[in-house]
A and B are shown apart, each in its own frame.
Chain A
Amino acid sequence: MQVAQLILSGVAQGCIYGLVALGFVLIYKATETVSFAQGEFMMLGAFCGLALIVGLGFPFWLALLGSTAAVALLGIALERIVIRPVLGQPVFAIFMLTLGLGYVLRGLITMVPYWGIETHALPVPYKGQVWNLAGLHMSAEQGVVIAVTAGLCALLYVMFRYSRIGIAMQAASQNQLAAYYMGIPVKSLNGLVWGLAAAVAAVAGMLLAPMTFIHANMGYIGLKAFPAAIVGGFTSLPGAIVGGVTIGVVESLSGFYLPVGFKDIAAYIVVLIMLMIRPNGLFGEKLRKKV
């Protein structure tokens, strides 16, 4: 009973990790770069939504769409301006570049006078509701997170499987040179992938906001999403969600049953164990090269 409750809250938290990790995996699959800026996109999405709701009076669902679109556009623009010129460089350098990008985005938000450094609550229509399912308590925020994550996964699956753009993205990520030969506009697709990843992060941000409030340091959750992506396998989209949920559940259980301090490093211990036994993660592919 207690365990079930803990697992439930772990799943909800894990879905957030999973969504951010999804962004990581999307970008990695397409361009083999690791983007450290996903956490900041999440934070921007939350702030954007806040601005739309509080500043322009949008209803919540419209603000969600609006902020997702806005952050997606930002992602595409950033990819064009900052990432595309550096694509030939070693992974490490691009990793640091996205780190710098994260710094800039975080700094820009805190530069907004008064508003940027404060903590805000996001007014959501389902705030404060608690549902009772067979004895388990689930807050509406948690329920919405799980539902939206599942929906988003289904949407992405359909897109990658059946739409032309999705198949083109898969092609570009598997063999870039061949994709060029086939006439696929690889560069524009890369931009789209970044936009998609940023959009997913923005959705995660707005879902997370009612649970953790909106503030400039929200993006640090992105650090936990790295282990989530690795656990799931960095080349697998469903793996990202599974990895995230795994980490969330482990955290929740260790917070209850283990002594102080284990909750915070649970994610990292899990990833180390995973790297030891299955370096490619739960769903990752093992690549072999014939010499």
Chain B
Amino acid sequence: MRTHLFNNCLSSMRWSLIALLAVGASMAQAQVQGITDTEIVIGAVLDLSGPLAIAGGPQRDGMIFATEEINNAGGIHGRKIRLILEDSGYDTKKGILITQKLLSQDKVFALVNTFGSAIVQATQPVAIEHGIPFLFPSAASNITYLPFHPLKFGLFATSNDHMRVVVDYAYGKLGKRRFGILYQDDETGQSALRAAEDQLKAHGLTLVERTSYKRGDTNFSAQVSRLKAANADIVVVGHSIREGASVAIETKAHGWPVDMMVPWGTVNAVITLGGPAVEGLYGATQFAVQPQTTAFKAFNERFKARFGHGGIQDYGTYGYTAMMLFAEGAKNAGRNLTPQSLSQGLEKIKNFKTTIEGPLITYGPGNHASPADAYIMQVRAGRWVQIAGPIAYENMAK
């Protein structure tokens, strides 16, 4: 009797042990936040309503388009991507709160494309501490990949790199010697300023004038007056889109047809806003704006059909590439997807390119840096036209 009971006990213990192991095994995968058997949850903190919504909107479209493309092709190893997009309004406090929500409430697997240096600076440590990959933030600063950490990957060209390219191009190809800079009075703008000064120092020059403006400022006449009084022969605007167009108009209003360069934001909005005043404006971009391959044309038609609005543009290409990169890394990681396996999967990426013409992206163990190529563009006859590139940042004197 007692042995019978004991045997029963043992057998039930055995079964519960097996059950426990099975649960444990599935929990080992289920315990990875944001991954279930059928989906991967990704979070993105964009600026959809604030001063840089002009970039955030296209980025959102690009990311959604890529996600739909991936999911329609069957997902990644049988898992569909669920993309949660949140709007920070470019407000640091809101960005921090939203990131906290994505991490602890929505329980995302990874944060892709957080927009804005200030928000990135504030939320990156928090995400890393939680063991959440912080991928491809839209921040023109090298904190996207430095100091090195397996869960940090950069994609956005840093202000250093783009600024160096435009300064060097202006020096070398345009023969400019008197550089004036108008930079945005925040961290992004200030690091752009430092990059310009460094690059000029390598050629033995200094800036003839530096002026600043507050983000959201719309009146640049005092700054342009200063630059004109200093007799600059090229004005570099350390941030762009709206400001680039405004400054171009302002220089014409002062009767001063000086050359101008903008290291980012070679988007059509600049042309629409600036009108004839931005004719001849130089710019630099990571992704070529008007590639002409047939594959891209078909891609653009599908994009237009989905979102209307004239097709994919500068920031849209970024959002699209970011999601496709993530998918590639996750594919390389295999079915057992964890932050570590994703990191290794991303490191296996070599010479990656999407339908959109752009830099070939290569990562490796110890190298999570943003790709190092830029194209020089110029506004000709009311359109952005590629006139040089790709120029590799490595060739710049550092």
Contact = CB atoms under 8 A, between A and B. Distances in A.
Asked if the two chains touch in their complex, CB atoms less than 8 Å apart, one says yes
Interface of A: 2, 5-6, 9, 13, 110, 114, 117-121, 127-128, 130, 132, 137, 139, 141-142, 211-213, 215-217, 220-221, 251-256, 260-261, 263-264
A263 B241 CA distance: 22
Interface string B261-274: 00000000100111
B222 A251 contact: yes
Nearest to B220: A255
Contacts of A217: 51, 216
B366 interface: no
Given A130-B255, A213-B245, A264-B214, A13 B53 contact: no
Given A119-B273, A220-B216, A256 B246 contact: no
Nearest to A107: B49
Interface of B: 48-49, 51, 53-54, 57, 185, 211-212, 214, 216-219, 221-223, 225-226, 229, 241-242, 245-246, 249, 252-255, 269, 272-277, 309
B222 A256 contact: yes
A100 B71 CA distance: 42
7 contacts: A9-B225, A120-B272, A127-B275, A137-B253, A256-B226, A260-B185, A260-B212
A128 B277 contact: yes
Q: Which of B54, B222, B274, B275 has the most CB of A within 10 A?
A: B222
B277 to A, nearest CB: 6
Contacts of B254: 5, 130, 137
B222 A9 contact: yes
Contacts, number: 94
Contact of A114 (B217, B242, B245, B309): B309
A128 B218 contact: no
A213 B53 contact: no
B253 A139 contact: yes
A6 B225 contact: yes
B225 A256 contact: yes
Nearest to B223: A255
Contacts of A118: 53-54, 57, 269
A13 B221 contact: yes
B57 A255 contact: no
A128 B57 contact: no
A118 B273 CA distance: 11
Nearest to B272: A121
Contacts of A121: 245, 272-275
Contacts of B252: 128, 130, 139
A5 B212 CA distance: 20
B255 A132 contact: yes
A254 B221 CA distance: 12
A121 B269 CA distance: 10
Nearest to B218: A212
The 10 closest A-B pairs by CB, nearest first: A255-B222, A212-B218, A139-B253, A9-B221, A117-B53, A137-B255, A121-B273, A256-B222, A260-B212, A252-B222
Contacts of A220: 216
A216 to B, nearest CB: 8
A140 B212 CA distance: 25
A63 to B, nearest CB: 18
Contacts of B245: 121, 213
Contact of A128 (B185, B222, B273, B275): B275
A117 B49 contact: yes
A282 B381 CA distance: 51
A260 B48 CA distance: 30
Contacts of A132: 255
